[in-house]
Chain A
Amino acid sequence: MQTLEPILAEHPFLKGLKQEHLELLVGCASNVRFDAGAFVFKQGEEANHFYILRDGKVAVELFAPQRGAVAIDTYGEGEVLGWSWLIPPYHWRFDARATEPTRAIALDARCMRTKCENDHELGYELMKRFARIIEQRLDATRWQLLDVYGVRA
């Protein structure tokens, strides 16, 4: 879609990508929207997309027996959601649910994987960017685990 290219080009996550790589991405991109309460993806499903959120809010949840759905993280405008599409067997490990009406650009995972296999430079550029995201998520998770606000006995 021609209209998505400027949006993708501006996004900080994709900054620095060569024009030809950007065009490859655009080829896999589509506009999506989710109503409040709708699932973006469910645990166990095939990870067929990743999302660049344009607005709204998505909560990453885990459903635990007797506890119900526990939100462990939330993402909003400008954030990138989903990296399970990169790592075999390409299945979502958590649920993601829009808590507000949410618009996003969805990038088709199979389309992306194929293009990355064919153009390793594109693959490396994306890997670098996702590595940074994973690092941020890991840091944030560790800080959450620290329970810094908790009272020590």
Chain B
Amino acid sequence: MVPDLFKIQQVRRETDDTFTLELGATAREQSFRFAAGQFNMLYVRGVGEVPISISGDPGRPDTLVHTTRAVGAVTRAMRALKKGDIIGVRGPYGVGWPVEQAIGRDVLVVAGGIGLAPLRPTIYRLLAERDRFGKVVILYGTRTPADILFRKEVEAWRARLDIEVYVTVDRATEGWHGNVGVVTKLIQKAPFDRTRALAMICGPEVMMRFTAMELDKRGVESENIYLSMERNMKCGIGLCGHCQCASTFICKDGPVFRYDAIRGLLSQREI
């Protein structure tokens, strides 16, 4: 349970409350292999340890990238770190996105707010091995245009001819000429084979719930929909009990779950 030490290469501000950490090895043999959708426990000395999704490219394991919101003591302290500072890393933990299962099928990626971060590694993989997948559609919803994460990258993806990218905001601000409204509205626009597509959804739990419901209404089977769940974690390895949700441990049985396995849980209160 002792972390490995990594060095901060860069702390980049993404939006008002979201930032990205790029970490490099301190020991020579420290290349970091991970699966899209996995997370690390990041340790800031004297403050604490929190689970953060890995948001970088699985094909580039020499730099470890995490994107998170600064919402508590540890993440705020993390945001204040500087290049060269040392941070503890334990991981990668958890069950990731089913990229292998998506081979040969249409893929629908639906992200809400910060949910784009845990999905970005999947997008990198889809693009790196584009030929292996059918149609690739990315739907992304955020609060306002200022909250669009990785904006330049999203625009670059959108400019490609071999994938479809639709972005919407809940609230427009002046100068926004794009879509306005909830992310589920984009589903009807998206060209994908409802019977065979594999959908991966990530965002606030209520957003994942209503997105899964909408996909369900439009004929996507529950076995073809995946969500990434979140709970309080202290150890990340199934020993501290905090992340339990009914009989699952989010840290080791998840965080990615197939919708049919957790459908009942999502509609139960305070579970």
Contact = CB atoms under 8 A, between A and B. Distances in A.
The answer to whether any beta carbons of A and B sit under 8 Å apart in the complex is yes
A150 B181 CA distance: 15
Interface stretch (A64-72, A86-94, A106-114, A115-123): A64-72
Contacts of A99: 177
B172 A71 contact: yes
B188 interface: yes
B32 interface: no
A59 B168 CA distance: 12
Interface stretch (B131-139, B201-209, B244-252): B201-209
A78 B142 CA distance: 23
Contacts of A135: none
A77 B182 contact: no
A72 to B, nearest CB: 6
Contacts of B114: 149
A74 B171 contact: no
A143 B112 contact: no
B194 interface: no
22 contacts: A67-B174, A72-B180, A74-B168, A74-B178, A140-B181, A140-B184, A140-B185, A143-B184, A143-B210, A144-B170, A147-B143, A148-B112, A148-B204, A148-B206, A149-B113, A149-B141, A149-B143, A149-B170, A149-B207, A151-B17, A151-B69, A151-B71
Interface of B: 17, 69, 71, 112-114, 141-143, 147, 168, 170-172, 174, 176-182, 184-185, 188-189, 203-204, 206-207, 210
Interface of A: 57, 59, 67-74, 76-78, 99, 140, 143-144, 146-151
